[in-house]
Amino acid sequence: MIGMGILQGMAVTARNFVGSYFEKDRLITVQYPEERNPLPENYRNFPFLPYDGDDPHAGLRCVACKICEKECPPQCIYIVKSEDKKPDHMGKPQFYPKVFDIDISVCMSCQICVEVCPFEAIKMDKVFELSRRERFDALLLRKSDLAKSNEYYHSICPTDATEVDAKLAEAAAKKKPAPPVAPAASAPTA
């Protein structure tokens, strides 16, 4: 009978309309700035540089090897390597990035810098409220904006951060037996 299809469809619409007031899993509106949905742990948005210890400059794990700069598909990373070595938070002299800029107006959060980094020195952040009034400078994150503590990394990605810490500790333990004197000798000079 003509019209039956339309009536059937309207019954579906009516059921959905009523359900949107009573079905629990469909009452999903969140009053955004006050309430927030929790982000999944794997969520990623723009990279940052975790640092160990208290000093954001000495504690950076980055040694300015420039691998991420080379591998970054949209070429949004700019690094200037230091000429001298400075002691890192363990007291070991290392090269460090004199300049480390990420242009987040270009960055597409693809995570390739994180994957290629051999030093666990760059990780994905979870910030997304980054609107700015200016188009250029405010969206160019400098080293001081990018450096965030390892505790912050633990707070956003607990599982990952614990794994990374274990990996770094293991690598440090492996290195120690070979030159047992070197770190002790360099420590007083630093």
Partner 1 sequence: MTATIQTLEPIERPPTTMGSRLDGELLEVSMGPQHPSTHGVFRMNVALEGEIVRKLKPVFGYLHRNHEKIGENTTYLGSMPYTDRLDYFCSMTNNWAYALSVEKLAGIEVPERAQYLRVILAELTRLQNHASLLGFLLNDMGAWGTPLMYAFREREKILDLFESLSGSRMMCDYMRFGGCRCDTPPGWMEHARKLVDAFPRFIDELEKLVVGNEVVIARTQNVGKLSAELAINAGITGPMLRSCGVNYDVRKVDGYGFYPRFKFRIPLGAHGDTYDRLMMRVLEIRESVGILKQAFEQVQAGPIMNPKVKIRAFRPPVGEAYGRIEAPKGELGFYLISDGGTNPYRYRVRPPSFINLTVLEDLCLGHTVADVMVILGSVDIVMGEVDR
Q: Contact residues for partner 1 (CB under 8 A)?
A: 2-6, 8-9, 11-13, 16, 26, 40-44, 67, 71-73, 108-112, 115-116, 118, 124
Q: Following DSSP, what letter does each residue of 30-93 receive, concatenated? A: --TTTS-PPPPTT---SEEEEE-SS-TTTTB------HHHHH-TT--EEEEE-SS-EE-TTS-E
- Given the complex with partner 1, which of 14 and 182 has the nearer CB atom? 14
106 and 69 Cβ atoms separated by less than 8 Å: no
Question: How far is it, in rounded angstroms, from Cα 54 to Cα 49?
Answer: 14
In 10 A of CB 33, how many CB atoms? 7
- Given the complex with partner 1, which of 17 and 136 has the nearer CB atom? 17
68 and 117 Cβ atoms separated by less than 8 Å: yes
- Given the complex with partner 1, which of 65 and 139 has the nearer CB atom? 65
- Given the complex with partner 1, which of 2 and 173 has the nearer CB atom? 2
